[in-house]
Homo-oligomer: A and B are copies of this chain.
Amino acid sequence: MSRQPHHPTREQIELPMVLDCLSDPIRLAIVYILARRDLAAAELRCGDFNALSGKSNLAYHFARLRESGLMQTRIVGTARLMKLRREDLDARFPGLLDAVIAAAARDAERLRLVDSELAAAI
């Protein structure tokens, strides 16, 4: 079995860190896309987010999202499969993720969440 990256436990997820994580437009876009995909319980790969930013910049944002407890990363072979930790987040902070996603959806154009390449990924 391959080595899996560290994730905080549900109880270790901290509100200020989650809010700080979501305050960055690129990380917010990643969470927004993962949240839409989450309905189908699907995992996404790093490459699915290439429209958002450069590869190394994205790697940084993925790490921040994992360390804050927003995202779960699973390594399978050479691929990193990512999904939102919706159950953990909803348990820790009921309604928060939904409210942020709804707010992001309202401002989708302003936040450039509706870029054509991005829309294709969603």
Q: How far is the CA of A80 from the CA of B104 in the complex (A)?
A: 32
Number of interface residues of A (CB under 8 A): 26
A103-B93 contact, Cβ under 8 Å, with A16-B25, A23-B23, A24-B16: yes
Q: How far is the CA of A36 from the CA of B107 in the complex (A)?
A: 28
A118 within 8 A of B: no
Q: From B22, B99, B110, B111, give the contact of A93 (CB < 8 A).
A: B99
A82 within 8 A of B: no
A96-B99 contact, Cβ under 8 Å, with A15-B111, A104-B15: yes
Some 25 contacts from A to B, beta carbons below 8 A apart, are A14-B107, A15-B100, A15-B103, A15-B111, A16-B23, A16-B24, A16-B28, A16-B111, A19-B19, A19-B20, A19-B100, A20-B20, A23-B23, A93-B102, A93-B103, A93-B106, A94-B99, A94-B103, A95-B95, A95-B99, A95-B102, A96-B100, A96-B102, A99-B99, A99-B100
